[in-house]
Structure 1
Amino acid sequence: MELRQLRYFVTVAEELHFGRAAERLNIVQPAVSQQVARLERELGLQLLDRSSRHVRLTGDGERMLREARSVLSAADRASEVAAELASGRSGVLRVGTAPGLRDRLERGLSALRAHTPDLEIQLSSGSTAEHLTALRSGELDVAFVRGETAAADLQEIELWRDPLSVLVPTAYRADGGVKLIDLAGLPLRLPDDPWLRDHLVTACREAGFEPLIGRPIEDFEAAVVEMSTGSPAWTVVYGTACEAADGALWMGLLDPPRTAPGNLLTAAGRSPECLDVLVAAFG
């Protein structure tokens, strides 16, 4: 089933005349008849009752007309959203990304591209702070970040939640979940992520201790090597996928479990229809 077939069927159903439908669509009448007939064959339904004098909808056709209009409306909204997001930039959609979002990005961008094939997509990695700056300056159209930003001048919508996993020396392994208090004697190493830092410092204080903040993580792979070869420390990552080095490190969940919000950020003033389509595509 193609959108073109649905559009032809809806036009014929509204005109109840193949000739007038062809004029509205600016194509020849045989093409309209062929595509509608093909749609009926693919569905296994008779949508139109044809005779030499009239064209009428069948009962199945009336039901299908409602569904077809809904599908076409959704397709038109997706096209409008893509055009709105990329307006003035020759159809370029610029997206700020975060690690571990490949599946979500592929699914959402494919949904937008299905209705706007010429849409060019540019992905940009960076920190939350960098994405906020780029959104405010107009260098990005959309960004995905973890953690709350409290950016009142931007639109922020929570789309998902990721578990927080702890990466620790194997001696601290706890299959039932690692208690923060058990890590009180280890340095806590974190990337430049204000939300994660504030969240963990607060959690440690609630657990009864002040965390010992170690050197910041500038390169995660380098930090893993350091932690696994004689510089014991612990860190926290988003999600549950992380490669530890040579079995010297173990990754697991916290006890009690903690999660981080995954948010869609875009400029203020986006239309509700635009936000609805983005949430449907990437949520």
Structure 2
Amino acid sequence: MELRLLRALVVAADRSTFSEAAAELSITQPAFTKQIQQLESLVGAPLFRRGRQGAALTSAGSALLEDARTLVALADRLDERMRRMARGDAGHLTVAFGLSSIAIAPRAVAAFRAALPGVTVRLEDMSSARQVEDVRSGELDVGFVRLPAPDDLRAAPVLSDRLVIACPPSWDAPPVSSDPAHWLHEHPRVALRPARGPGLTAQVNRYLVRIGSASKAIQEADDLQTVLALVAAGVGAAVVPESSRNIAPARVTMHHLSGEYVRWEVGVVWRADNETPVVRTFLDEIARVAAAADDR
């Protein structure tokens, strides 16, 4: 069944004459009449009675009209949805972020949702390694990961982060002008469980090896908020991303570190063959949010 024939039936039922119906569909009256005749041939019965007062539905036409109207409306809605998806303002998006992007990723998603409410978004927290796997498999559309990204994924830098020492409020600050290896050895340290933050754990371990520190964590936690809560409670210090300042209790003080392995870049990754209009629109929104953050 051709949709154009059902549309001809619906439009003819809503107009007084075939000439008005033809004008509605932007075709000639002979072409419109031919469409009705084709449909009548398929049904095996006349669908309209034509007279001086115009065209009126027969019983066969009335029997078909409701289903024809439903199918035409469904087709129109589907067509509109496809157009919106092609424009990037409808569809579904799956996004994940890690510790270093905990501030910018939710902001980008919020701005994206406000601009395109027709797109549903799922946002998850996971490590960079897991994000790379899920982007590759198609479970994720976009991930916020540590750079550099694997060569088989497309990537764009978003922000940089650095290690800092988070200290309880009553503690003396670590030395700024010299390597804090001795200070870290003399003070208890808490840390994120490696399985929950393998990228951060590797970054911290590289830094500790670089400065010659043998500091070991006396307690581990499953999330960075808990690590910082332990710091605030005086359990120990922690080497954390500076971006965690956004979720740290006010009593926690943070002190910059310097040298090798202190800084790293964070970017977004996606698959080249999955750069849909929705994904492209979200990437543009990330760029705007990141630029706004840099301006502050």
Instruction: Give TM class, smaller chain.
Output: 0.5 to 0.7
Partner of 1:136: 136
Matches within 5 A, 1:69-148: 80=86, 82=88, 91-98=91-98, 99-101=102-104, 102-110=106-114, 113=116, 118-145=118-145, 147-148=146-147
Between the aligned partners of 1:164 and 1:139, the Cα distance in structure 2 is 30
Q: Residue 174 of structure 2 contacts residue 180 of structure 2 at CA under 8 Å; is this kept in 1?
A: no
> What CA deviation, in whole Å up to 9, does each residue of 1:26-73 have, x standing for no partner?
9xxxxxxxxxxxxxxxxxxxxxxxxxxxxxxxxxxxxxxxxxxxxxxx
Partner of 1:250: 253
Q: Residue 88 of structure 2 contacts residue 279 of structure 2 at CA under 8 Å; is this kept in 1?
A: no
The structure with the largest alpha-carbon Rg is 2
SS at match of 1:139: coil
> What displacement does 1:185 show?
3.1
What runs of 5+ residues in structure 1 fail to find an aligned partner? Answer: 1-25, 27-77
> What displacement does 1:94 show?
1.5
In structure 2, do the counterparts of structure 1 residues 227 and 150 end up closer, same or farther at CA, with 3 Å as the change threshold? same
Between the aligned partners of 2:113 and 2:235, the Cα distance in structure 1 is 41
Partner residue of 2:236 out of 212, 232, 235: 232
> What CA deviation, in whole Å up to 9, does each residue of 1:189-248 have, x standing for no partner?
134222222222222222232332443320334333433445323231341324337x3x
Between the aligned partners of 1:92 and 1:224, the Cα distance in structure 2 is 34
SS at match of 1:211: coil
Partner of 2:150: 151
- Using the size of structure 1 for normalisation, the TM-score is 0.54
Q: Residue 165 of structure 1 contacts residue 238 of structure 1 at CA under 8 Å; is this kept in 2?
A: yes
> What displacement does 1:165 show?
3.2
In structure 2, do the counterparts of structure 1 residues 221 and 161 end up closer, same or farther at CA, with 3 Å as the change threshold? closer
Partner of 1:241: 246
Between the aligned partners of 1:142 and 1:165, the Cα distance in structure 2 is 28
- Matching of residue 261 in structure 1 with residue 230 in structure 2: no
Between the aligned partners of 1:167 and 1:119, the Cα distance in structure 2 is 39
In structure 2, do the counterparts of structure 1 residues 141 and 273 end up closer, same or farther at CA, with 3 Å as the change threshold? closer
> What CA deviation, in whole Å up to 9, does each residue of 1:157-216 have, x standing for no partner?
222213433212342425968953232334351342222222222222222323324433
SS at match of 2:268: strand
Between the aligned partners of 1:189 and 1:178, the Cα distance in structure 2 is 23
> What displacement does 1:81 show?
7.0
In structure 2, do the counterparts of structure 1 residues 96 and 163 end up closer, same or farther at CA, with 3 Å as the change threshold? same
User: Structure 2: which amino acid aligns with 1:155?
Assistant: R
In structure 2, do the counterparts of structure 1 residues 185 and 94 end up closer, same or farther at CA, with 3 Å as the change threshold? same
Partner of 1:43: none
Between the aligned partners of 1:230 and 1:160, the Cα distance in structure 2 is 31
> What displacement does 1:80 show?
4.0
- Matching of residue 206 in structure 1 with residue 214 in structure 2: no
| Number of equivalenced pairs | 196
User: Structure 1: which amino acid aligns with 2:192?
Assistant: L
Between the aligned partners of 2:138 and 2:161, the Cα distance in structure 1 is 28
Quick one: percent identity of the two aligned structures? Answer: 19
Partner residue of 2:201 out of 197, 200, 206: 197
Q: Residue 169 of structure 1 contacts residue 234 of structure 1 at CA under 8 Å; is this kept in 2?
A: no
SS at match of 1:104: helix
SS at match of 2:122: strand
